[in-house]
Amino acid sequence: MSGEKESVRNEYWRPEVSTIKEDNVHGSVYLANQALNIVEEFINRELYNNRTELLQSLSKLSNALVRAKPLMALIFNRTRSVIDFIQDIPKEEKDIQGIKLAALDKIKQLRKEADQKVDRITQLGARMIMDQHSILVHSYSKIVYSILEKAGKMKKRFRVICTESRPNNEGSKMALQLAKGGIKTSLIPDADVARAVNEANFILTGTDRFTETSFVSKTGTHTLAILAKSMNRPLYIAGETDKILLKRTYPVRFSQNKPAEILKEKHANLSIRNIHFEETPLSHVSKIIIEDGIFELKEFIDRYL
């Protein structure tokens, strides 16, 4: 088999990575799980003869996955964890089957730890919700949904305000899901967010990434944060420490999404800017909920950043 054909065979995963790149509906937890599934499948296929070939192929796959979703720190950190684990296996271990099985066990461990972290954050976040609270949320975050669902199961009486979160209306999905779960929920257009901040006891959002000075989340979060600060409403961020990815390790880059999501018509004098994510300064944040506890901003920065 020629080198070109061998490369095509070893990179069978390209369409799966493209699917992740084009997915503008699911959040970072779901897409990180999909990325880990692709890594696991590659290891299982045994398209390598030794550790060096395995590491080279996994590095190429990891880089492709990170480029697909460069803002999602979970994808970067979890795929790199597998590569680092294989690199740390003693050099005396030459049995590629043993290395393969150890790597697959590492992936199982990563999944288990991820679930435990989300469970812990869910428990901590739910305790912060009190009876008669109104909570404003933006877009759809699995971890935020889990916190609200848990608080509902604890029989707490509270209300959630969801923004539509255009252009893909993830907030509408969140609102409907919460309402079906028995939680009193209001759905508002994004433009009505100032009134919602004024009504809320606090704003709760997830994140795709923590950097040295900011967190990355759905576009519109920065506006929420500015309003929250000016109206003296606390902003709480919920997310795993696996979402810490400093800019000096990997830069923050935003990409343009399909203009048709905003307007299908075209005109020579009209340009459409459709960027789904943005950075919000950490200085706007009141508390951060991670698996290790609930931290004031300074303590979180000192300990983790």
224, 188: one domain: yes
190, 294: one domain: yes
180, 61: one domain: no
162, 265: one domain: yes
The number of folded domains in the chain is 2
HSE-CB for 294 with a 13 A CA cutoff: 11
Final residue in a domain of this structure, among 118, 143, 162: 118
173, 246: one domain: yes
99, 132: one domain: no
141, 50: one domain: no
Rounded Cα gap, residues 177 and 185, in angstroms: 10
Question: What CATH number does the domain containing 131 carry?
Answer: 3.40.50.10470
Output the pLDDT for position 83.
98
Rounded Cα gap, residues 27 and 208, in angstroms: 8
pLDDT in tens, 95-120: 999 999 999 999 999 999 999 999 99
- Which among 90, 118, 98, 102 is positioned nearest to 33, based on CA atoms? 118
Output the pLDDT for position 1.
47
Q: Could you list the residue range(s) of the whole structural domain that residue 20 is in?
A: 3-118
188, 294: one domain: yes
Helix (H, G, I), strand (E, B) or coil at 235: strand
Output the pLDDT for position 9.
74
For the chain, the average pLDDT equals 96
Rounded Cα gap, residues 215 and 142, in angstroms: 17
Output the pLDDT for position 217.
97
Q: At residue 5, does pLDDT exceed 90?
A: no
62, 161: one domain: no
112, 200: one domain: no
pLDDT in tens, 157-198: 999 999 999 999 999 999 999 999 999 999 999 999 999 999
Output the pLDDT for position 7.
62
100, 161: one domain: no
165, 233: one domain: yes
